[in-house]
Structure 1
């Protein structure tokens, strides 16, 4: 026999009040109606739940055991009733993002801060990984979307270009090249240079450009991330080529940034799992990211 939640609610109320009449008053039902509900519950369970004594009801041992189960039931029902409201507020939903360091260290935290002004209860999980790891996280659907540098080695995700910009040169504010409008290979003759490690895509392009100009740069220090390279430039360890988003975040910190010519392309893409649709929250966060991207690239050389 199926028992409705209303009958369990009546049982719970009788247990609290100790009388059928008291439960009826709380539930807005007649006393006979509440009695019939309890009778139906006893029939369905096959046990006696109450002893009737002079207008009062005395719970049996079975009633106390059933009460524990009913209370757990109503906790679960309450959670289900609140689920829609929590989803609307973004409390039980979130966004998982994987981003390469060029975007994950400074740019993404600023975009997330903007996003959470409108969604203060939304959860955001930011995973900062090298581009090849971002590909893996997206391909295996561990995140809602990712941001990585092209070209890609894996499949299992859809891509669209997020930014097609240029690498720029980081220069200490007091350096002689801080006043030039753009930096060419000939400007780097005799200059110490902080290089990328060889598995970073910008490194072979830079090496080819310098070799074509007949210049061998003095690259005594190398790194894998623009943020650490900028810190080294600030310490006067040399000049460097860095991505434009890190340059934007580092403005006003003792560094000047200038275009490098010929250009070294900096192409970042947004990756989305093929078999996983973007949630509304993920789409909102992407909107904030795209807005901040336009601001960053427009403000870099102002």
Structure 2
């Protein structure tokens, strides 16, 4: 990279082209001329030292490096938008903007219930809720582009304060007309020879599911992997298989055409509430923390632990903590 600082207008042009799919459409979005956007993309490529787009006549497509760079640019631009919103709120004497990052299941399940339970005088006029992967939730909180985060374990980073950890047993979701829907408890052995719908990330919940199946001597006939439990539940509704998921969505959202059953073996799903290390909670963030904790405790079998448990679990240690719920 030739300069220490990249012109923000170049990054905006790059983001617009990635979103719109062409320089012409990006120029319309930005209110700039096409030659200006073309030059800005070229200047950005000169700055970073590699091609961001492959050209084929009038058509362009992001290069592999361009795709990776886009993820970084989007995080930066989102942070800048939050700064602008916070500056406006401060100038108007209003409550600060609240920014929350969470994995998709928690963003759709626990977060809405918590926000609805917060007192109106503590809920800012502007609230940003992002649905991200667990890894990106952590990065958003570390960068302080998010005031609060909810991410699945393992989590271990000195730049984070863990407010609390929730442990809840996974459930099985099947279509209402599935043969296993008649059972009150689904045994892991019932999954032998069936198609399993499960998470793709091998370092989080998927690892616990695979270990439980291995201990039970069960081998599914087929597996469909996904990065979001909502996808797994939706596929189960279409009779594509049995979904083993955290009970967040089924506890907080009405699910039609699907039934939820306990498993005969406890497969724990653990997630943590995280904030930037050493940052005192504002009244708004403290109220959000309490509301999220209360919403999480409503899930069947949920147990709340103090924050230290997150680091012990992330290190692979046996977590033995007193129930604090």
Q: Answer whether TM exceeds 0.5 for this pair.
A: yes
Match of 1:238 in 2: 241
C-alpha RMSD over aligned residues: 2.5
Distance change in 2, residues 1:252/1:131 (3 Å) = closer
Q: For residues 142 and 83 of structure 1, what CA distance do their matches in structure 2 show?
A: 17
Per the TM alignment, residue 212 of structure 1 is displaced from its structure 2 partner at its CA by 2.7
Deviations 1:251-294 (A, max 9, x none): 44121111223211111111111132111111112222222222
| 3-state SS of paired residue (1:271) | strand
Matches within 5 A, 1:228-267: 228-267=231-270
Gaps of 5+ in 1: 1-81
Matches within 5 A, 1:268-283: 268-283=271-286
Q: For residues 276 and 123 of structure 2, what CA distance do their matches in structure 1 show?
A: 26
- Do the aligned residues in 2 keep the contact of 1:96 with 1:124 (CA within 8 Å)? yes
Distance change in 2, residues 1:133/1:160 (3 Å) = same
- Do the aligned residues in 2 keep the contact of 1:157 with 1:273 (CA within 8 Å)? yes
Deviations 1:195-216 (A, max 9, x none): 2214351222222222233321
Match of 1:71 in 2: none
| 3-state SS of paired residue (2:172) | strand
Gaps of 5+ in 2: 1-88, 303-325
Match of 1:132 in 2: 135
Q: For residues 219 and 261 of structure 1, what CA distance do their matches in structure 2 show?
A: 21
- Do the aligned residues in 2 keep the contact of 1:98 with 1:145 (CA within 8 Å)? yes
Which has more helix, going by share of residues? 1
The equivalent position to 2:288 in structure 1, one of 279, 285, 288, is 285
- Do the aligned residues in 2 keep the contact of 1:136 with 1:154 (CA within 8 Å)? no
TM-score normalised by length of structure 1: 0.64
Deviations 1:109-139 (A, max 9, x none): 2322332645465321112111111111112
Distance change in 2, residues 1:205/1:295 (3 Å) = closer
- Do the aligned residues in 2 keep the contact of 1:223 with 1:229 (CA within 8 Å)? yes
Q: Does 1:224 pair with 2:231?
A: no
Q: For residues 198 and 277 of structure 2, what CA distance do their matches in structure 1 show?
A: 36
- Do the aligned residues in 1 keep the contact of 2:97 with 2:124 (CA within 8 Å)? no
The equivalent position to 1:214 in structure 2, one of 217, 223, 229, is 217
Q: For residues 152 and 218 of structure 2, what CA distance do their matches in structure 1 show?
A: 27
TM-score normalised by length of structure 2: 0.60
Distance change in 2, residues 1:122/1:298 (3 Å) = farther
| 3-state SS of paired residue (1:297) | coil
Match of 1:194 in 2: 197
Deviations 1:82-118 (A, max 9, x none): 979x65xxx3412211111120123212322332645
Match of 2:174 in 1: 171
The equivalent position to 1:154 in structure 2, one of 157, 167, 181, is 157
Moved more, 248-257 or 93-102: 248-257
Distance change in 2, residues 1:116/1:125 (3 Å) = farther
Q: For residues 218 and 116 of structure 1, what CA distance do their matches in structure 2 show?
A: 49
Q: For residues 209 and 83 of structure 1, what CA distance do their matches in structure 2 show?
A: 51
| 3-state SS of paired residue (1:174) | coil
